[in-house]
Amino acid sequence: MTAQQFDDYVKTLPEEEQVEFMYPYTVIREDGNGGYEAIRYHVEYEKYITPIVKLLNEVADLTDNESFAKFLRLKAEALTTDNYYDADVAWIDMKDNKFDMVFGPFETYSDGIKGVKAKYEAYVEIIDQKASEDLKKYTSYLSKMEEHLPIPQEYKSDASGLTATFVVVNDIIRKGEGTVGYQAVATNLPNDPEVHATKGTKKTFWKNMLKARFNGIIIPVSNRLIEESQLKYLSDEGFFQFVLMHEICHAIGPRVVKVGPNKGMAANASIGPNYNALEECKADVTGLYQLAYLMDEGVVDKSRREEFYVSFLGSLFRSIRFGLDEAHGKAAAISLSYMLANGGILYDEATNKWSIDFDNFEEGVKNLDGELLILEGNGDNVKVQEFFDQWTKETPALASAMKATEDLPIDVLPVRSIKWE
Rg (CA), the chain: 23
Which residues in 175-194 are b (16+ Cβ under 10 Å) and which e?
ebbbeeeebbbbbbbbbbee
CA distance 35 to 15: 16
Side chain identity at residue 394, one-letter code: E
- With CB cut-offs between 5 and 8 Å by kind, which of other proteins, Zn ion, none does residue 59 bind? other proteins
| Cβ at position 277, least distance to other proteins in Å | 20
- With CB cut-offs between 5 and 8 Å by kind, which of other proteins, Zn ion, none does residue 416 bind? other proteins
Output 156 or 328, the one with its CB closest to other proteins: 328
Q: Which residues bind other proteins (CB under 8 A)?
A: 1, 6, 27-30, 36, 41, 45, 48-49, 51-52, 55-56, 58-59, 62-63, 98-99, 101, 103-104, 110-113, 117, 119-122, 124, 126, 170, 172-173, 175-177, 179-182, 208-209, 212, 215-217, 220, 407, 409-421
- With CB cut-offs between 5 and 8 Å by kind, which of other proteins, Zn ion, none does residue 283 bind? Zn ion
Strand 353-356 and strand 345-348: the pairing is: antiparallel
Output 10 or 368, the one with its CB closest to Zn ion: 368
Contact 177, 120 (CB under 8 A): yes
- With CB cut-offs between 5 and 8 Å by kind, which of other proteins, Zn ion, none does residue 208 bind? other proteins
- Is residue 243 within the footprint of Zn ion (CB under 5 A)? no
Output 65 or 201, the one with its CB closest to other proteins: 65
Contact 278, 295 (CB under 8 A): no
- With CB cut-offs between 5 and 8 Å by kind, which of other proteins, Zn ion, none does residue 295 bind? none
Strand 120-127 and strand 345-348: the pairing is: unpaired
Output 43 or 269, the one with its CB closest to other proteins: 43
- With CB cut-offs between 5 and 8 Å by kind, which of Zn ion, other proteins, none does residue 164 bind? none
Output 87 or 292, the one with its CB closest to other proteins: 87
Q: Stretches 53-61, 278-286, 357-365, 406-414: which one binds Zn ion (CB under 5 A)? A: 278-286
- With CB cut-offs between 5 and 8 Å by kind, which of other proteins, Zn ion, none does residue 23 bind? none
Contact 172, 125 (CB under 8 A): yes
CA distance 193 to 119: 18
Residue 169 phi/psi, 5° resolution? -135, 165
Residue from 266, 246, 280, 237 nearest 145 by CA: 246
The residues that bridge with 37 in the sheet, in sequence order, are: 29
Output 51 or 264, the one with its CB closest to other proteins: 51
Evaluated on CA atoms 420, 79, 210, 147, the torsion sign reads negative
- Is residue 334 within the footprint of Zn ion (CB under 5 A)? no
Contact 150, 373 (CB under 8 A): yes
- The three-state secondary structure class of 390 is helix
| Cβ at position 398, least distance to other proteins in Å | 21
Output 51 or 298, the one with its CB closest to other proteins: 51
| Cβ at position 250, least distance to Zn ion in Å | 6
Identified binder of Zn ion from the candidate list 38, 209, 249, 283, rule CB under 5 A: 283
Contact 219, 234 (CB under 8 A): yes
| Cβ at position 288, least distance to Zn ion in Å | 13
Output 170 or 342, the one with its CB closest to other proteins: 170
- 190 cis-preceded (ω within 30 degrees of 0): yes
Chain centroid, CA 284 distance in Å: 12
Q: Rule CB under 5 A: which residues touch Zn ion?
A: 283
